[in-house]
Amino acid sequence: MKNKNIITKRNDILLASDKLLKGLMTGTLIITTLSSTLKAQEPAYTKPSWWFGAAAGANFNFYRGSTQKLNKDLTIPSAFHSGNGVGLYLAPLVEYHKPESMFGAMFQAGYDGRSGKFKEIKTPCNCPADLSTKIAYVTVEPSLRFAPFKSDFYLYAGPRLAFNVAKSFVYQQKANPDYPNQVDNPEVKGDLSDVNNMLVSMQIGAGYDIPLSSQNKRTQFVISPFVSFQPYFGQSPRSIESWNVTTLRIGAAIKFGRGHKSSGDASANPEKSTDVAAANAHVQFSISSPKNVPVERRVRETFPLRNYIFFDKDSKEIPSRYVLLKKDEVKDFKEDQLEVFKSKKLSGRSNRQMVAYYNILNILGDRMNKKPTTTIKLVGSSETSNEDGKAMAESVKSYLVNTFGIDGARISTEGRNKPLIPSGQPGGTKDLELLAEGNRRVSIETVSPTLLMEFQSGPDAPLQPVEIMDVQTAPLDSYVTFNVDGGKDEFKSWDLEVKDDKGVVEKFGPYYQKKVSIPGKAILGNRPEGDFKVTMIGHTKSGKTVTKEASMHMVLWTPGKNEEGMRFSVIFEYDESEVNTIYDKYLTDVVTPKIPQGASVIIHGYTDIIGDAGHNKQLSAKRSKDVKTIIEGQLKKSGRNDVRFEEYGFGEEDQLSPFENKYPEERFYNRTVVIDIIPKS
Q: What confidence tens digit (pLDDT) does each residue in 187-211 have?
A: 999 999 999 999 999 999 999 999 8
The mean per-residue pLDDT over the stretch 367-386 comes to 93
- The pLDDT value recorded for residue 522 is 75
Residues 223, 57: Cα–Cα separation, whole Å = 13
Beta pairing, strands 67-71 & 284-288:
unpaired
Q: Predicted confidence band at 46 (pLDDT cuts at 50, 70, 90)?
A: confident
pLDDT recorded at residue 42: 44
AA identity, residue 425 = Q
Measured distance CA(540)–CA(498) in Å, rounded: 21
Whole-angstrom distance, CA of residue 354 vs CA of residue 178:
100
117 alpha-carbon distance from chain centroid: 48
The Cα–Cα gap between 293 and 315 comes to 48
Torsional class of 177: left (φ above 0), alpha (ψ -120 to 50), beta (otherwise): alpha
The fraction of the chain above a pLDDT of 90, given in percent, is 45
Q: With contact defined as beta carbons under 8 Å apart, do 624 and 618 qualify? A: no
Q: Which CATH architecture has domain 567-678?
A: 2-Layer Sandwich (3.30)
Nearest to 99 by CA among 217, 214, 260: 260
Residue 362 CB coordination number (10 Å): 24
Q: What integer pLDDT is reported at residue 355 of this predicted model?
A: 81
Beta-strand runs (E) in 353-478: 376-381, 411-416, 441-445, 463-471
Contacts of 471 (CB under 8 A, 6+ apart): 296, 297, 298, 299, 559
Q: Which fold has domain 284-292+474-555?
A: Immunoglobulin-like (2.60.40)
Mean pLDDT, the chain, integer:
83
Q: What is the pLDDT of residue 482?
A: 79
Measured CA to CA, the distance from residue 282 to residue 193 in angstroms comes to 59
Q: What are phi and psi of 391, to 5 degrees?
A: -60, -35
Task: Residue count of the chain, please give it.
Answer: 681
Topology agreement, domain 284-292+474-555 and domain 567-678: no
- Alpha carbon 154 to its chain's center: 21
Q: Would you call the peptide bond into 510 cis, given omega within 30 degrees of 0 as the criterion?
A: yes
Region 205-233 average pLDDT? 90
Q: Please, which pLDDT band fits residue 352 given cuts at 50, 70 and 90? A: low
Q: pTM for the full model?
A: 0.48
H or E stretch covering 112 = strand 103-113
Poorest-pLDDT segment among 396-410, 463-477, 623-637 = 463-477
Q: Torsion angle of alpha carbons 624, 630, 634, 639, nearest 10°? A: 60
Return the amino acid letter for 614: G
Q: Is pLDDT above 80 for 298?
A: no
More confident residue, 170 or 581: 170
Which of the pair, 440 or 561, is modelled with greater confidence? 440
Q: pLDDT band at residue 21, thresholds of 50, 70 and 90?
A: very low
Q: What are the CA-CA distances from residue 402 to residues 67, 389, 475 (Å)?
A: 86, 20, 43
**What residue type is assigned to position 679 of the chain?**
P
- Quick: pLDDT tens for 253-285: 999 998 876 543 333 333 334 455 555 556 677
Q: d(Cα 656, Cα 642) in Å, to the nearest integer?
A: 29
Q: What is the pLDDT of residues 96-150, one digit of tens each?
A: 998 778 899 999 999 999 999 999 999 988 899 999 999 999 999 999 999 987 7
pLDDT at 478: 58
Cβ contacts of 411 within 8 Å, gap of 6 or more: 375, 376, 377, 378, 397, 400, 401
pLDDT at 90 over 80: yes
CATH ID of 307-461, from 3.30.1330.60, 3.20.20.60, 2.60.120.10, 3.40.50.720: 3.30.1330.60
Express each pLDDT in 509-524 by its tens digit. 888 777 777 777 778 7
Angstrom distance (rounded) from CA 136 to CA 115: 7
Q: Specify the amino acid at residue 537.
A: I
Instruction: Report whether 354 contacts 669 (CB < 8 A).
Output: yes
Give whichever of 330-339, 418-427, 625-634 has the largest mean pLDDT: 625-634
Which pLDDT tens digit goes with each residue over 655-677?
678 888 888 999 999 999 999 88
How high is the pLDDT of residue 428? 56
Q: How far apart are CA 386 and CA 415, in angstroms?
A: 5
Give the span between the Cα atoms of 258 and 51, in whole angstroms: 8
Q: What are the domain boundaries of the chain?
A: 2-265, 284-292+474-555, 307-461, 567-678
- Distance between CA atoms of 671 and 580, rounded to whole angstroms? 13
Query: Is 264:530 a contact under the CB 8 Å cutoff?
Result: no
Three-class SS of residue 474? coil
